[in-house]
Amino acid sequence: MANEYDAIIVGGGHNGLVSAAYLARSGARTLVLESRGSLGGAATTESPWEDAPHLRVTRLSYVVSLMPPTIVRDLALERHGYKVHPMGPYYQAFPEGGSLTIFEDDPKRTHEQLAKFSKKDADAWPKWNEWLEGIAEVMGPLLTQVPPNIGSHKPSDLIDLAKLAWSQKGITTRMTADVTRLLTMSIADLLDDWFESPQIKGALAVNGVIGTWAGPYEPGTAYVMAHHSIGDVGDGQLGSWGYPEGGMGGVSEAIARSARGFGAEIRTNARVSGLKVRGGRVHGVVLENGDEIAAPLVVTTLHPRTAFLDQIPRHELPDDFVRDIEHWKTRSGVVKINLALGELPNFTADPSSGIAEHLTGSVEMAPTMEYIEAAFQDARVGKPALMPFSDGVIPTTLDTTLNPDGTHIMSLFTQWVPAEWADAPHTEELDAYADRLIDLYDEVAPGFKSSILHRDVVGPHEMEQEYGLIGGNIFHGELSLEQLFHMRPAPGFADYRTPIAGLYNGSSATHAGGGVCGIPGWQAAKAALADRKRANGRLRAALSRRS
Ligand SMILES: Cc1cc2nc3c(=O)[nH]c(=O)nc-3n(C[C@H](O)[C@H](O)[C@H](O)COP(=O)(O)OP(=O)(O)OC[C@H]3O[C@@H](n4cnc5c(N)ncnc54)[C@H](O)[C@@H]3O)c2cc1C
């Protein structure tokens, strides 16, 4: 039957595509429904400029690190075009003169660089990295763990909890203390314990506030730094960040090719308006155009507010669960600015022409922790940051496939504007915000402003309306402590299952999300397949009892 499938995936972002590939690989007749005209969700490569349709931009997310090698292998992603160019060093040119470059793979050069600001900090650097590696050993493997249902007395949940505790048996008192600190401290307090130089602390603070509605002095930001720095998903590889070939849309395209290869069908311009739920079980979906499609298994990868509050009749869900999703925190105040450049920036501190090494990694505007904090304080009181911070990259320095005509694309991930800006476009104010940031780069790299050929400013409202990122949060929900691990997205439902039988959750609002890692989509498919196997086993046992 044309409108009957074994499995439907709602949302063709990278997680939905991963789920689809795994389910199709298991032999399920699988359909992906994506509302937009193109796939990838927040992992997308697009051409935003009508007057330059040939220019391609990695429009929202911009670097990849956390995709587990197992997913890459299982889905043969490399054969389908997945390729990552490891990015270059961290670079910050300071308004008062000078610069800082951090080479992750070159301790000697990094020591020289750090010693320009503090000999003590330069000496502390290797120990800091060792400390982070220790943290990665503990926390990395947890990313691919299914969170236990803490507090449940069901024997299977108690066994899961015991297994998790057993897997952590090698952890020492010292490691537990380090992880506790990481989970509870602000990135500012953590860095104050290690370093003295404002410039070096500025460099390390950025990862603590990426995508976060919190300044560096807020508790919990140390964990956000770990989520972004560790890069080890406990799957045999300590990852480093890199530019996927063809932009982030290249990642989604590779996964889509794999899913199609396993037999999945993918429809775009197919907005799901609701799920068909009766008696606590899902039976399929209804599209915006009124079409109904049946399936006994549905994986939703939408923001939890949309998935549960808009697409399922309220009476089908437990009150506690509804309350948890209503209280889900989903702010971030992020603005993405994409620029097409006629020429690469030439920083006064490090004059260059062409593709210099310091342009191949992060090209930051986050000189100190105090600077970053001031940007948050502006937004907290309802104003766009007077001096926004920016995590900039120029992927075209390494990925020449993106724009073969040689035009460079600079992608600026910036913060903050007020979280409430998700409610309205604020177009003119966003333009003024972008102007201010561009002026800041121009100050340290004169001529930068005049090198801009095109610009594209994506604020929280567009992220919500166009991409379904409610509140403009880049991860489908904040990475704050009360929304992590067994609490993501709600207590009792962190195992990628939902209160509705047959409905699974593979969105970034589950454990290991956000980020472009595919883990939620993978785990949701695994949960669905395990349940199917168990149900088939029960059916076989019942039949054999009868015969
Ligand atoms: C500006 C920005 C920068 C980021 N930078 C990075 C980065 O550099 N590295 C990184 O790892 N992560 C980054 N992230 C986070 C990361 O991109 C996301 O966590 C991840 O892409 C989310 O993937 P997903 O598949 O869970 O959801 P999504 O990508 O949100 O996919 C959900 C899909 O569902 C579709 N949809 C919505 N409503 C419906 C409907 N009713 N019916 C059918 N389909 C629907 C959407 O169009 C979308 O395609 C960034 C995010 C943003 C916004």
Q: pLDDT tens for residues 103-152?
A: 988 999 999 999 999 999 999 999 999 998 888 888 888 889 999 888 88
C-alpha 119 – ligand 1 centre gap (Å): 42
Which backbone phi and psi does 462 adopt, to 5 degrees?
-65, -40
Confidence of residue 236 (pLDDT cuts 50, 70, 90): very low
pLDDT of 234 strictly over 50? no
pLDDT of 60 strictly over 70? yes
Per-residue pLDDT of 403-444, as tens digits, reads: 989 999 999 999 999 999 999 999 999 999 999 999 999 999
Closest CA to 510 of 497, 500, 499, 528: 497
pLDDT of 237 strictly over 60? no
Percent of the chain topping pLDDT 90 = 83
The residue whose CA is least distant from atom 21 of ligand 1 is 42
The predicted pLDDT at position 231 comes to 58
Compute the average pLDDT of residues 519-529.
98
CA distance 195 to 125: 9
Would you say the CB of residue 5 lies under 6 angstroms from ligand 1?
Answer: no
- Between 235-249, 285-299, 516-530, the lowest mean confidence (pLDDT) is in 235-249
Residue 234 corresponds to which amino acid? Answer: G
Ligand 1 pocket test target in 8, 22, 301, 412 with most atoms within 8 Å of CB: 301
Compute the average pLDDT of residues 267-288.
98
pLDDT of 17 strictly over 60? yes
CB 369 within 8 A of CB 225: no
Q: What token pair was written down for 508?
A: 């970034």
Per-residue pLDDT of 446-502, as tens digits, reads: 999 999 999 999 999 999 999 999 999 999 999 999 999 999 999 999 999 999 999
The predicted pLDDT at position 217 comes to 97
Closest CA to 230 of 205, 207, 256: 207
pLDDT of 235 strictly over 80? no
The answer to whether the predicted template modeling score (pTM) of the entire model surpasses 0.75 is yes
CA distance 100 to 172: 36
Q: Which residues pair with 361 in a beta bridge?
A: none
Confidence of residue 1 (pLDDT cuts 50, 70, 90): low
Q: Which atom of ligand 1 is nearest to the CA of 40?
A: 49
Would you say the CB of residue 271 lies under 6 angstroms from ligand 1?
Answer: yes
Compute the average pLDDT of residues 324-330.
98
The predicted pLDDT at position 232 comes to 44
Percent of the chain topping pLDDT 70 = 98
pLDDT of 227 strictly over 90? no
- 536: part of which helix (H) or strand (E)? helix 519-546
Higher pLDDT, 163 or 373: 373
Higher pLDDT, 538 or 313: 313
Size of the chain in residues: 547
Q: Which atom of ligand 1 is nearest to the CA of 516?
A: 11
Q: Which atom of ligand 1 is nearest to the CA of 467?
A: 47
CB 15 within 8 A of CB 22: no
The predicted pLDDT at position 230 comes to 67
Cα radius of gyration rounded to whole Å, the chain: 23
Closest CA to 364 of 268, 423, 421, 444: 444
Would you say the CB of residue 43 lies under 6 angstroms from ligand 1?
Answer: yes
CA distance 129 to 243: 23
Confidence of residue 51 (pLDDT cuts 50, 70, 90): very high
Q: Which atom of ligand 1 is nearest to the CA of 303?
A: 30
Would you say the CB of residue 477 lies under 6 angstroms from ligand 1?
Answer: no
CB 391 within 8 A of CB 134: no
Ligand 1 pocket test target in 60, 465, 476, 523 with most atoms within 8 Å of CB: 60
Q: What token pair was written down for 182?
A: 């990481």
Compute the average pLDDT of residues 4-24.
98
Compute the average pLDDT of residues 255-278.
98
